[in-house]
Structure 1
Amino acid sequence: MLDLVHLRSFVSISQLGSFTAASQKLGLGQSTVSQHLQRLEAAIGRRLLDRDTHGVQLTADGEALLPHARQLLSLERQTSSLFEAARPSGRLRLGISEDLVSGQLPVLLQDFIADYPAVELHLTVALSKDLADMQDKGELDLVFAKRRLGDRRGEVILREPLVWLAADPDAILANPVLPLIVFPPPSLTRTLLMEALERTGHPWRIVCSCQSLSGLTAAARAGMGVLVQPRNLAPPGLRELPPSALPTIEDVEFILVAAPSADRNTIAAFTRLVRDRVTNGLTPSR
């Protein structure tokens, strides 16, 4: 029989790519997490993970087990939720920052819907400032977006550095005028990168402006210019430019903002899931 505690450690290691990070997330010693994996591999009779100097990689058997392990853990959460004093239900109007679309959003939403089928989820994806405006107008119950350092709105989930990304960094740096791929105003990322360039007087020009992260990513992959994104949300196919190549951009904070009228039980349930799934593994799907 498979032990759910062992499966939880396996999924955390797989998600975070590190025994140390998994142990911190689970609140366990690293030796305990390692022991969980060893016992799981012994129960299955297969090697699930390979370790090297670059981190942890799933074996073919590990890849095969992972979706089933997640499904079993999701079923455990669903079963536990049946006995909550006040189960989340009703409508949740959720606003998500465009930056998060390339990350674990699909899995996050899938887990939430599976765990709380009585919740009717309405999703809006937009720029952080636009989401804040919608929430102020009473159109959104919960917003998962970003803010600049020093702002007070929302509950901080994590802090992320903004980095310069390109398909071919050498080609970008050889250009005397920096070609920019940016969101339109009122994008916070756009504001912060412009401030960084203005501080140093670095010449620039906008070659692509698009409301959609997928559109910006396509332009960057085509080699049109440089894109700025949170480091752990860097789209696949792009490389980070050396830190000394271009001005340092101010970090951002990802936050959850609940409307006063939102259902407390539903907000608490989604917040728990975000902290479990995102805080310790905010990475794009590869």
Structure 2
Amino acid sequence: MNWRGFDLGQLRSFVAVAEAGSVSAGSERVFLSQSSVSEQLKKLEARAGQPLFVRSKQGVTATQAGARLLDHARRILAMSEAAFEDLQGHSLDGELRIAITDYYRPHDIARILKTFSEQYPRLKLHVTVLPSATIDESAGADAAFDIGLSLRLVTPGSRRHGNGSGTGSARASGTVVRREKLLWAISAEAPPHVSTPFPLVLLPSTCQLQRFVVKRLDELKVPYLIAHSASGVAGLQLALKAGLGIGCLNESSIGPGVVACAPGVGLPALPSVEFHLLPGRAGESERVSSARNALVRPFS
């Protein structure tokens, strides 16, 4: 009887390369050498009977067949992990309330949560999008969520203070799952040179990131005006795409129609940001602690 399936190791490398955009970056995710991953992809394409990637100097992009396989591969790997966890007695069930900042991978978060749900089909997720400040300040015994994921600025002294904002708060930082560059962003159709005062697209002052940006510009006496105020990251992205001004976004929040500003336009350099899974609370159930540990991998 001929076996007609795919090798899990090859699929895992395939997903890593597809998500990372290059063989070198993908190989780091699966802790294999580039040559080993390249060989796995070669065998996978032979098994599939068609090319799965278009390769260029900039990296790799999935072909139409590759994009179709990618969706299948994510589900296959999630189900494989779910079966293993179940047999090990680690399967999660019940309800889990998660609060996530809307800066966290907005173009990808739905897929991440879907994959996590497929891995733990008996776990019912309740996801709420909240400002990072609200998540941090609400992370007590009476919080309306079990697990929080917030954004922190990485500024001088933030490692010492532990909160990623350089403010000196003693608040615990939790587990860093991702670190990204912070960038000035503008419409892809905007002219290369922007005249001053710089037209800013901002979120409300309750957003720590926007407060930092305004304070930084004021300190350096950079001329600006507030051209548009958005209520959330999705609104900010739309305003930027429409060409209403310049905004500040983390790398994974820059989507179609929006690009990073070219260096040398007169805007100050920005720090990096980190995304933290907040630490557990006293008396937290084993179910929530296990779920937090399980989330580290898909969120990274």
- Work out whether the TM-score is over 0.5: yes
Indicate whether 1:255 and 2:276 are aligned.
yes
- Evaluate the alpha carbon distance shift between residue 224 and residue 108 of structure 1 in structure 2; reply closer, same or farther with a 3 A threshold: same
CA contact (8 A) 1:184 1:209 kept: yes
CA RMSD of aligned residues (A): 2.0
TM-fit CA distance, 1:269: 3.8
2:87 partner SS: coil
Q: Which residue of 2 aligns with 1:5?
A: 9
- Evaluate the alpha carbon distance shift between residue 274 and residue 113 of structure 1 in structure 2; reply closer, same or farther with a 3 A threshold: same
Give the Cα separation in 2 of the matches to 1:196 and 1:243: 17
Residue type of the alignment partner of 1:77:
E
- Evaluate the alpha carbon distance shift between residue 107 and residue 270 of structure 1 in structure 2; reply closer, same or farther with a 3 A threshold: farther
Match of 2:185 among 165, 177, 187: 165
Give the Cα separation in 1 of the matches to 2:188 and 2:45: 41
Indicate whether 1:102 and 2:122 are aligned.
no
Deviations along 1:57-110, one digit per CA (max 9) or x if unpaired, are 112221221111112112111211212334322222111001126232101111
Match of 1:218 among 235, 238, 241: 238
Asked which structure has the greater RCO (Cα within 8 Å, sep 6+), the reply is 1
Q: How many residues align?
A: 278
Give the Cα separation in 2 of the matches to 1:199 and 1:169: 30
TM-fit CA distance, 1:52: 0.7
Match of 2:260 among 215, 240, 247: 240
Residue type of the alignment partner of 1:181:
V
Q: Which residue of 2 aligns with 1:65?
A: 69
Q: Which residue of 2 aligns with 1:193?
A: 213
Please give the TM-score of this superposition, normalised by the length of structure 1.
Answer: 0.90
- Evaluate the alpha carbon distance shift between residue 222 and residue 170 of structure 1 in structure 2; reply closer, same or farther with a 3 A threshold: closer
Indicate whether 1:144 and 2:154 are aligned.
no
Q: Which residue of 1 aligns with 2:251?
A: 231
Q: Which moved more, 1:148-157 or 1:220-229?
A: 148-157
CA contact (8 A) 2:280 2:289 kept: no
1:211 partner SS: coil
- Unmatched 5+ residue regions in structure 1? 280-286
Residue type of the alignment partner of 1:51:
R
CA contact (8 A) 2:153 2:273 kept: yes
CA contact (8 A) 1:86 1:265 kept: no
TM-fit CA distance, 1:173: 4.2
Match of 1:50 among 45, 50, 54: 54
Residue type of the alignment partner of 2:21:
G
Residue type of the alignment partner of 1:221:
K
Please give the TM-score of this superposition, normalised by the length of structure 2.
Answer: 0.86
- Evaluate the alpha carbon distance shift between residue 131 and residue 226 of structure 1 in structure 2; reply closer, same or farther with a 3 A threshold: same
Q: Which residue of 2 aligns with 1:85?
A: 89
**Structure number having the greater helix percentage:** 1
1:249 partner SS: coil
TM-fit CA distance, 1:197: 0.9
CA contact (8 A) 1:165 1:239 kept: yes
